[in-house]
Every structure is written in structure tokens, then in C-alpha cells.
């Protein structure tokens, strides 16, 4: 069952990466990292990072870079866009 969970996290991260792919690379990586930091539980992030550390394939380049950024800056807080969700 744990393999299925990891595969699902990889697919979710790739979907997030596809959403941000149209942006310039640096902004896309930051956007993916911010989304994962904001909306994924620490357990989800830890599980995906463990899969990356174990060399599991399947994660696209942009979310892989975003995960590396998250691991290098674990104390960073999520950035919310101006305006919030008041609409």
C-alpha cells in the first residue's frame, strides 16, 4: 500500500508542476514549492522526500527542484498572494 501512496504523491506533485510550467523556471519552482508548503501536510512532504532520497523515478524536473528547495529551506513560511480569497 505504501507504494501506491508514494505514486499518488508523485502524480500530485507532477500535476502541480504542470500547472506552473508556463511560468519562467525560477517562478515555477517557487510556485510549486509554495503550493506544497501551503497545502501538503508535513507527512506528505516527508514521504515524497523519502521517495526522492531513495531514488524513486517519476517526478518531473520542476517539482523535483521545488522539493529540493523545500529541503534546503525548511523554515520558510508559505507566501500568500495579495488579495487573499475574499472574493
pLDDT of residue 80: 58
Distance CA 66, CA 64 (A): 5
Domain parsing of the chain, residue ranges: 2-72
Asked if the model's pLDDT at residue 78 lies above 90, the reply is no
Predicted confidence (pLDDT) per residue in 3-47, tens digit: 458 889 999 999 999 999 999 999 999 999 999 999 999 999 999
| Single pTM value for the model | 0.80
Residue 49 CB-density burial (10 A; 0-12 exposed, 13-18 middle, 19+ buried): middle
Cβ atoms of residues 58 and 50 within 8 Å = no
Amino acid at each position: 500500500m505504501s507504494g501506491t501512496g508514494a505514486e499518488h504523491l508523485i502524480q500530485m506533485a507532477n500535476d502541480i508542476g504542470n500547472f506552473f510550467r508556463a511560468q519562467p523556471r525560477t517562478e515555477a519552482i517557487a510556485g510549486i514549492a509554495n503550493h506544497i508548503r501551503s497545502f501538503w501536510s508535513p507527512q506528505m512532504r516527508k514521504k515524497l522526500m523519502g521517495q526522492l532520497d531513495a531514488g524513486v523515478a517519476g517526478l518531473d524536473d520542476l517539482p523535483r527542484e521545488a522539493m529540493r528547495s523545500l529541503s534546503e529551506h525548511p523554515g520558510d513560511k508559505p507566501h500568500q498572494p495579495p488579495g487573499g480569497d475574499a472574493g
